[in-house]
A and B are shown apart, each in its own frame.
Chain A
Amino acid sequence: MTDKSKLGFYLLLMPLMLWLITLIILPHIGLFMVSISEKIGVRQYETGLGNYAVFFNEPLYWRTFARTAFMSIFTTVLTLVLGFPVAYYIAKLTRGRTKTTLFLMCLIPFWVSELVRTFGWMILLRETGVLSNFLQYTGVIGGPVEFLYNDGAIMVGLVYTSILFMIVPLVTTLDSLDDSLIEAGYDLGGSDYSIMREIVIPHAMPGIVSGCIVVFMLSLGNYLTPILLGGKDSLWFTGLIYTQFITRFNWELGSAFGFLLLALSSSIVFIGLKLSRQSLTETMGR
């Protein structure tokens, strides 16, 4: 490389580096510094890992942490189960205009903000809401039923919010699967099940894994949906972080929680990749 092209390379790299350093790396360094300072009195702090110790000593915190992780994993599985047939139908069973229309219909709900979509679910699910009234009208239930303020409502909201991020990568990978491979499978006497298992799913694996990673991250880091749709027992870890920062003025503990969440999500994604025998470069590079 000549000196001139080197300069050009660094100049092109500048915006990316600036963005990475000022908006991601520096804030994380700051957050980490805050997370290892323990408050011992008014305007008095000392360095230590006390905030992390609080997390492990208080059952509420790590239980909420585990709960959030499990519910996010469940959301991811549910989104995959619901999203795969939709993606398969769009990618393999439709052509031309129908395909574009169907794909667009998946996108349309995302033209409004997440807040509006969540309020929509609240109107549907609340005790005096659409679903409860409809069921009473048809005589399925006798009196008003509350569908809101429970874990089920959170799941519905999370799946709805993130399903697009599952469908898009799945459609892309399924599109790239040559139909003649499926036909050959049938010619060789394969059943629907064996073709799905031997041909379609292995081919779609990178799409499945990248979709799962995105959906899992979105669910784990979601704040709005669990807070608005969840009830008095439905704690979510991001809600705890907000509480520590805003209502308790305890930035030190909040920062520690933030780092623990980062570590948790990274390690679950790592384990997921290992279990599915995929590598990050392969899934993200496609």
Chain B
Amino acid sequence: MKFGLAPATVLVAALSTTSLSAETLRLLTWGGYAPEDVIALFEAETGHTVEVTTSNNEEMIAKLRATNGGGFDLAQPSQDRIASAQEEFGIYKPLDMSMVDAAQFIPSMLEATAANTTYEGEVYGLPHVWGTSGLVVNTAEAGQVTDYTDLCDASVAGSVSYRLKRPTLIGFAYSMGLDPFAAYSDADAYQGILDEVEAALIECKPNVKTYWDGGDEIKNLLRSGEVVAAMAWDTGGWQLNADNADITFVAPEAGALGWIDTFVLPARGRADEAAYDWINFVMRPEIASMITNTAGNFTAAVDGDAEVSAELKARYQGSFDQAAIDNIKWYPPVPAGLEALEGATLDRINASN
């Protein structure tokens, strides 16, 4: 086995020396978080080059786990998935706050993220983009859908879609009057909640047209009118609203689910300096506005909404009044092992007839 690995190791080592001298920032992020124009400005100002790989939470962790935290210099998972991933796989390295211009961050978000991404006394995450998931509804045809459980109503049978993933479990639990986040630390209580949600989702299954997987898939279903109500991200709803004024994001009565995507340093990233330069660059108010205009979500930058387009602001205010903002349920850090319980529940829902 060792003899077979040796040539591969030499090859990898040879490749890595070449990329080191090129000063490249390998960024693992979400679609829309690193727009072309922002990259061009950053490259012109700092001389670094940026290579972007777009992904999602699970794939980011899986990619970094496969390489023990190598292959990328900066990643952007959601804040609730950092501490447990660090505990299980050790794929990140702690942040050096002296390298970060903390004054550019909204203090409350910076503190909340730091608290949620602390593992063994070290902080691993900085807040970047935040948003919510809730309901995207065609108000002309399904205006009665105002909460997650309304998706199971007979009036929208066959025209409903949601993902078979953890946000669905949590949204339904809140809508059913339960408090899943409070039960995070108590596996038995959480299992009890999951069992109730499982029964509800199995009963709801005939109502569902299909379980969606990707953002483009659900947007197509809503745009074509094949689906009239879905559980989805706020940005998806606002993008559709630009094409069809009837479709928009609705903050559910039980509360939209709030997430914050962060900056973290992979354990074996090699361009830390470029990574900190990127963080400080994109948190500038005018750059943050550019990112909000392409990604559709607001950032944790101070004055980051100053140059955001008026249409986007109007859509945001249309979906969220102050009460809806106060009612956002922010994801607390997921304890290690919780996903196994949720996975078994999702499997049973998937298998039921």
Chain A residues within 8 Å of B, Cβ to Cβ: 18, 21-22, 25-26, 29, 42-43, 58-60, 63-64, 126-128, 146, 148-149, 227, 231-233, 235, 243, 245-251
Contacts and interface: CB of A to CB of B under 8 A. Distances in A.
Interface residues of B, number: 33
The 7 A-B pairs at the shortest CB distance, nearest first, are namely: A60-B351, A248-B343, A128-B224, A149-B210, A247-B58, A127-B226, A21-B4
Contacts of B213: 227
Interface in B209-256: 209-211, 213, 224-226
B313 interface: no
A227 B209 CA distance: 14
A58 B87 CA distance: 28
B17 interface: no
B7 A22 contact: yes
Interface in B62-121: 62, 65, 87-88, 90
B340 A248 contact: yes
B350 A246 contact: no
B185 to A, nearest CB: 15
Contacts of A249: 58, 61-62, 65, 88, 339
13 contacts: A22-B4, A42-B87, A42-B336, A58-B347, A59-B351, A63-B351, A126-B224, A128-B224, A146-B209, A232-B211, A233-B353, A245-B62, A248-B339
Interface string B339-353: 110010001101101
Contact of A128 (B5, B65, B225, B348): B225
A247 B164 CA distance: 11
A246 B62 contact: yes
Contact of B8 (A22, A60, A126, A245): A22
A232 B208 contact: yes
A102 to B, nearest CB: 36
A250 B340 contact: yes
B339 A29 contact: no
Nearest to A231: B210
B176 to A, nearest CB: 21
B88 A43 contact: yes
Contacts of A128: 224-226
A248 to B, nearest CB: 4
A41 to B, nearest CB: 9
Interface in B324-344: 336-337, 339-340, 343
B106 to A, nearest CB: 31
Interface in B284-298: none
Contacts of A58: 347
B247 to A, nearest CB: 15
Nearest to B350: A235
Scoring B8, B208, B343 by chain A CB atoms within 10 A of each residue's CB, the highest score goes to: B343
Nearest to A127: B226
B1 A29 contact: yes
B270 interface: no
Contacts of B340: 248, 250
Contacts of B65: 249, 251
Contacts of A235: 350-351
B77 to A, nearest CB: 12
B288 to A, nearest CB: 30
Nearest to B225: A128
Contacts of B90: 43
B59 interface: yes
Nearest to A18: B7
A22 B9 CA distance: 11
Contacts of A64: 351
B205 interface: yes
A148 B350 CA distance: 18
Contacts of A246: 58-59, 62
Contacts of A248: 339-340, 343
Contacts of B336: 42
A246 B165 CA distance: 12
A26 B87 contact: no
A251 B58 CA distance: 13
A232 B205 contact: yes
Contacts of A42: 87-88, 336-337
Contacts of B61: 249
Scoring A18, A26, A58, A127 by chain B CB atoms within 10 A of each residue's CB, the highest score goes to: A127
